[in-house]
């Protein structure tokens, strides 16, 4: 049985799929594995999608094709150095433009003129990502697929249970020391090959009472010992709905525990990072909070 690689590298590829395919065919992952490094390639079809993925995942490198849609309109091509999860990554630019004609933000990267030589890109990636590997003391290693599966299941299940007008706000980084967003929550441990940490789904009073009133078919006016367990039940259903997707990524989760009261802070070892997704409903807000521990 082959041992798990000691190190991991994450590369964001913003293109129409051709670069991703070329790197796969060039066996980049296999070559890095010989250096005890596991490679994860994550694709974005345009600049807007790249911006969203950069909020959720830390990347060691970004490969971008300047011709893909919304690369500049979204601001990704000019602002990615100001995004926490991409600012320190290696940059590789594939473009029909000459290097001197590119925006200043892209001139710091390695530029490959179209039609580009895939082998030259592979060699550059091997050099930058496959050098002497050092153990990172801080990694925000949330697999965006895991978070998306939880978000999708949450919106689906809560909609079925009567929460109306659910609107998701832009995911945001937050301090690990900040408490979860709501006043009643369920919290569980989550772990996969790429991630370990804690996940919470929490509700403010308005959204919780909206939800539990619908579940019990009776108007609820306060959070009580009798209705507080509903948050655990509803989150068990959410995780059950997401389970088939999460299983594809090798994710394991513990049974959620109910935490009542505002101010709950999830465990946050040194080097951890955290993110929050806020959802607005007709009568309040609920929150998905994630703390990623160093790996």
Q: Tell me the average pLDDT across 4-17.
A: 86
Reported for 209-217, long-range contacts at CB under 8 A and 24+ positions apart, including other chains, are: 209/283, 209/284, 210/162, 210/163, 210/164, 210/281, 210/282, 210/283, 210/284, 211/158, 211/161, 211/162, 211/163, 213/162, 214/161, 214/162, 214/163, 215/161, 215/162
Question: Domain check: are 84 and 206 in the same one?
Answer: no
Residue 186's nearest CA partner among 239, 146, 138, 148 is 239
Question: Domain check: are 121 and 208 in the same one?
Answer: no
* pLDDT band of 188, cuts 50, 70, 90: confident
Share of the chain above pLDDT 70, in %: 91
* Domain enclosing residue 253, as ranges: 144-292
Question: Domain check: are 155 and 108 in the same one?
Answer: no
Question: Residue 2 domain-assigned?
Answer: no
Q: Give SS3 for 295.
A: coil
> Tens digits of per-residue pLDDT, 151-187?
888 888 888 887 777 888 877 777 777 888 889 988 8
Beta-carbon count within 10 A of 282 CB: 13
24-28, 71-75, 216-220, range with the lowest pLDDT: 71-75
Under a CB-based contact definition with an 8 Å cutoff, are residues 59 and 91 in contact? Answer: no
Cα-Cα-Cα-Cα dihedral sign, residues 122, 195, 262, 279? positive
Question: Domain check: are 285 and 166 in the same one?
Answer: yes
Instruction: Give me the pLDDT at residue 139, please.
Output: 43
Question: Domain check: are 186 and 286 in the same one?
Answer: yes
Question: Domain check: are 159 and 99 in the same one?
Answer: no
The yes-or-no verdict on residue 96 having pLDDT over 50 is yes
**Tell me, what CATH number does 41's domain have?**
3.40.50.2300
Q: Mean pLDDT, the chain, as a whole number? A: 82
* pLDDT band of 133, cuts 50, 70, 90: very low
The yes-or-no verdict on residue 291 having pLDDT over 90 is no
**Tell me, what CATH number does 271's domain have?**
3.40.1550.10
Instruction: Give me the pLDDT at residue 138, please.
Output: 40
First to last CA, the chain: 22
> Tens digits of per-residue pLDDT, 268-286?
777 677 888 899 988 899 9
Instruction: Give me the pLDDT at residue 194, please.
Output: 60
Pairing state between β 257-260 and 110-113: unpaired
8, β-bridge pairs: 38
- Report the number of distinct structural domains present in the chain: 2
The yes-or-no verdict on residue 140 having pLDDT over 60 is no
Question: Residue 173 domain-assigned?
Answer: yes
Around 107, how many Cα atoms within 13 Å sit in the side-chain half-sphere? 7
Instruction: Give me the pLDDT at residue 143, please.
Output: 59
Question: Residue 148 domain-assigned?
Answer: yes
Q: Pick the more confident residue, 68 or 249.
A: 68
Pairing state between β 252-253 and 257-260: unpaired
Residue 279's nearest CA partner among 212, 207, 176 is 207
Instruction: Give me the pLDDT at residue 64, please.
Output: 93
Question: Domain check: are 152 and 108 in the same one?
Answer: no
Question: Domain check: are 148 and 287 in the same one?
Answer: yes
């Amino acid at each position: 049985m082959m041992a798990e690689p000691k190190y991991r590298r994450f590369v964001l590829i913003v293109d129409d799929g051709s670069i991703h395919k070329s790197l796969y065919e060039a066996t980049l992952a296999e070559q890095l594995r010989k250096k005890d490094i596991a490679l994860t390639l994550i694709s974005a079809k345009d600049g807007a999608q790249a911006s969203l993925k950069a909020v959720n995942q830390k990347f060691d490198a970004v490969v971008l094709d300047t011709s893909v849609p919304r690369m500049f309109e979204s601001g990704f091509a000019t602002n990615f150095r100001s995004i926490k999860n991409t600012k320190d990554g290696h940059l590789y630019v594939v473009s029909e433009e000459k290097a001197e004609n590119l925006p200043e933000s892209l001139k710091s990267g390695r530029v490959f003129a179209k039609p580009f030589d895939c082998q030259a890109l592979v060699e550059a990636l091997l050099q930058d990502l496959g050098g002497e590997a050092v153990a990172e003391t801080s990694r925000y290693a949330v697999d965006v697929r895991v978070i998306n599966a939880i978000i999708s299941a949450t919106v689906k299940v809560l909609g079925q249970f009567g929460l109306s007008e659910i609107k998701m706000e832009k995911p945001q980084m937050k301090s690990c020391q900040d408490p979860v967003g709501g006043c009643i929550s369920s919290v569980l441990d989550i772990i996969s090959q790429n991630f370990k940490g804690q996940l919470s789904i929490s509700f403010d009073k308005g959204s919780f009472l909206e939800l539990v009133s619908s579940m019990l078919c009776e108007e609820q006016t306060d959070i009580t010992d009798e209705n507080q367990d509903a948050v655990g039940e509803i989150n068990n259903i959410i995780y059950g709905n997401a389970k088939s997707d999460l299983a594809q990524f090798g994710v394991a989760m513990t049974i959620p525990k109910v935490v009542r009261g505002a101010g709950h802070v999830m465990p946050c070892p040194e080097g951890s990072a955290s993110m929050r997704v806020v959802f607005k409903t007709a009568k309040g807000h609920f929150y998905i909070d994630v703390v990623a521990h160093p790996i």
